[in-house]
């Protein structure tokens, strides 16, 4: 049997190096396994704590790449549950159907975003779609159901480290086991970049639940595959869009009952 020949490199061993090597051998011989180092802050030696904002951003980054059709239930205190259908198409067009999203909850609408603009579409009954703004632009408050931001615009806010946000772990919302995070805007403004709330994303990057001032959203069932593009639920028409507030009650009729004829008594 031939012995293998190899080059032997010269190694200078100091007293400290030898002592460390011997100590390691002794520990191994005594049955001690190699210690597992816990990540720590180099300055203090304290174990590093998980960054809630980073953990949330990691899930939101996955959410931003998802394309799907997902159904949700919106629960508002004192009102019957409403359905919300979210479609994010493969070409990045999107549509959010909101039951009771207009006229004080009495009319169903869809907010649809296409390259030519943002549309508000009446879907119950379907009376057509009105272009209400440029693509990806915020809607006027008087016609804005606001639920679409949860799935679209607020993702960019949660990912932007330049936006001051306070993020902390939160207890899971009822009906979901997905990790939840409480988010509080760090700026005082008339319209902050995101509403304060609790947001829960599953491992697939799908919003599993959210609690916001508008109510609590809950995913119902598994999302379906996304279409290539979204379609408008009706023709484009030129009419005023539906407002979110309930319409004023009808004015009472101006006609008044005629006065009873006087009866003259003859003598």
Range of weakest confidence among 42-51, 53-62, 128-137, 168-177: 42-51
Token duo for residue 118? 């943002």
User: Which residues, in sequence order, are CB contacts of 124 under 8 Å at separation 6+?
Assistant: 99, 107, 108
CB within 8 Å of 232: residues ≥ 6 apart: 112, 114, 119, 121, 129
Q: How high is the pLDDT of residue 8?
A: 36
More confident site: 189 or 76: 76
Give per-residue pLDDT as tens, 69-124: 999 999 999 899 999 999 999 999 999 999 999 999 999 999 999 999 999 999 98
C-alpha closest to that of 222 among 90, 60, 72: 72
Q: Please state the pTM of the whole predicted model.
A: 0.76
> Measured between alpha carbons, how far is 179 from 104 in angstroms, rounded to an integer?
33
């Amino acid at each position: 049997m031939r012995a293998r020949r190899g080059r032997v490199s010269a190694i200078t061993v100091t007293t400290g190096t030898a002592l460390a090597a011997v100590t390691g051998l002794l520990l191994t011989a005594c049955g001690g396994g190699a210690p597992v180092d816990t990540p720590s802050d180099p300055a203090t030696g304290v174990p590093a704590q998980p960054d809630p904002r980073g953990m949330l951003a990691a899930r939101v980054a996955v959410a931003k790449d998802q394309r799907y059709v997902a159904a949700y239930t919106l629960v508002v205190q004192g009102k019957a549950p409403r359905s919300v259908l979210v479609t994010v198409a493969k070409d990045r067009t999107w549509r959010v159907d909101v039951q009771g999203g207009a006229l004080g909850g009495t009319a169903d609408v869809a907010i649809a975003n296409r390259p030519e603009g943002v549309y508000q579409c009446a879907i119950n009954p379907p009376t057509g779609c009105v272009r209400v703004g440029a693509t990806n632009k915020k809607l006027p408050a008087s016609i804005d159901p606001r639920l679409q931001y949860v799935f679209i615009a607020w993702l960019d806010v949660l990912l932007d480290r330049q936006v001051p946000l306070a993020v902390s772990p939160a207890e899971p919302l009822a009906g979901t086991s997905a990790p939840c995070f409480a988010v509080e805007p760090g700026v005082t403004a008339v319209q902050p970049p995101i509403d304060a709330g609790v947001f829960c994303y599953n491992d697939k990057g799908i919003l599993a639940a959210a609690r916001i001032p508008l109510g609590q959203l809950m995913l119902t069932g598994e999302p379906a595959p996304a279409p290539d593009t979204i379609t408008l639920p009706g023709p484009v028409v030129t009419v005023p869009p539906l407002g979110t507030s309930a319409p004023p009650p009808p004015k009472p009729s101006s006609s008044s009952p005629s006065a009873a004829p006087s009866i003259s008594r003859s003598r």
